[in-house]
Copies of this chain bind each other. A is one copy, B any other.
Amino acid sequence: MPTIKDVADRAGVHAATASRALNSATRGMVNARTVTRVLEAAKALGYAPNSAARSLRTRTSSVAGVIIPDLRNPVFPPIVRGIEDGLREAGYMALLGNTDGDAVRERELFDAMRGRQTDGFILATSRRDDALPAEVPTVLVNRRTDAGGVPSVTADNSVGVHMLVRALVHLGHSRIGHVAGPRHLSTGWERYRAFVDAMDGAEPVTFAEAFTEDAGFEATLRLLDTVPDLTAIVAGNDLIALGCYAALASRGLRVPEDISVTGFNDIPFADRQRPGLTTIRIPHYDIGLESARLLLERIANPAGPAKRIVLPVELVTRGSTGPARN
């Protein structure tokens, strides 16, 4: 692999000059003809800068750490894809890690990535009470901490839940239950709060242990045990809603004839479920894209304001909701 010294020799200049010519920020310091010579030499040799050397000297790496719970959760692929595209706009790349929701593993990953000179982090994992290291630029995606001060990009959970409840009420439902996501995740919590707010009353709620089908199944059974005569269930997200489907089927209840179900996220294939899932479409890809841009902004100016970006959502009505039973 050719080094900058090789390029400099070929162009007949000193390595320092070559470095300045190669770097667009310092290129102005070098004579235009020299720049051309260096650039030609670099191309001829197929020169690619050694990023380890550069990182060592500049203390930056153009790499961002992306930490999520589990890539197999269908919300994340499009988000991660958006992140990657956003990072690439600025020549950044993504180091990816999964935590399975394990705080210890998250910590390990975080440290390991930081040791690799990561310039910043995009986290989809933090709990509401997380204290995040402030020294390194960080953006939360699809999550938020209570404390604030950390920039985040999320979908509008509150508006989404209100849309769902309004749609159900419009269909004549009044006995509406909520199978919420985990309390310790901001997504679960915000939707729960919005639900309570939208229903303004003492409404039946159970909390799923996780945003998974299995946890949704289990939590739905608990809900049905407490309140058997519900006509609609607002689930904390689409996977939980699929758990509802299974739980309701196990109790011999039909969707939507006996009971309506709604999800949240509009994951791929939500339209192919039976019945198709009425849900809130969030702009997955854009959430990722915006979070990458926000991170880059923070890296460029760590002292700037900790923006919170909230992206609009959309109601998608499908077969899982129908008129209230009576």
Contacts and interface: CB of A to CB of B under 8 A. Distances in A.
Interface string A226-270: 000000000000000000000000000000000000000000110
Interface in A86-100: 91, 93-98
Contacts of A48: 111, 114-115
Contact of A51 (B91, B98, B117, B273): B117
B81 A117 contact: no
A145 B198 CA distance: 57
Interface string A127-143: 00000000000000000
A106 interface: no
A221 interface: no
Interface in A107-125: 111-117
Contacts of A80: 71, 96
Contact of A77 (B66, B72, B112, B115): B72
A180 B211 CA distance: 36
A63 interface: yes
Contact of A96 (B61, B62, B96): B96
A37 to B, nearest CB: 22
A81 B80 CA distance: 13
A71 B68 CA distance: 14
Q: Count the copies.
A: 2
B71 A98 contact: no
B98 A50 contact: no
Interface string A276-289: 00000000000000
B96 A49 contact: no
Interface in A61-84: 61-63, 66, 70-72, 74, 76-78, 80-81, 84
A56 B49 CA distance: 12
A164 to B, nearest CB: 21
Nearest to A62: B116
Contact of A95 (B56, B71, B93, B112): B93
A272 interface: yes
Interface in A274-311: 274
Contact of A94 (B52, B61, B95, B268): B95
A27 to B, nearest CB: 19
Top-7 shortest CB links A-B: A52-B55, A52-B56, A269-B269, A48-B115, A71-B77, A51-B116, A96-B96
26 contacts: A48-B111, A48-B115, A51-B116, A52-B52, A52-B56, A52-B117, A53-B56, A56-B56, A61-B116, A62-B116, A66-B96, A71-B78, A71-B81, A72-B77, A72-B268, A74-B77, A81-B98, A84-B96, A85-B98, A93-B97, A93-B112, A93-B116, A95-B95, A95-B96, A269-B269, A269-B272
Interface of A: 48-53, 55-56, 61-63, 66, 70-72, 74, 76-78, 80-81, 84-85, 91, 93-98, 111-117, 268-269, 272-274
Given A62-B116, A71-B71, A93-B112, 11 more contacts: A63-B95, A63-B116, A66-B96, A71-B81, A71-B84, A72-B81, A81-B98, A94-B96, A95-B96, A272-B273, A274-B274
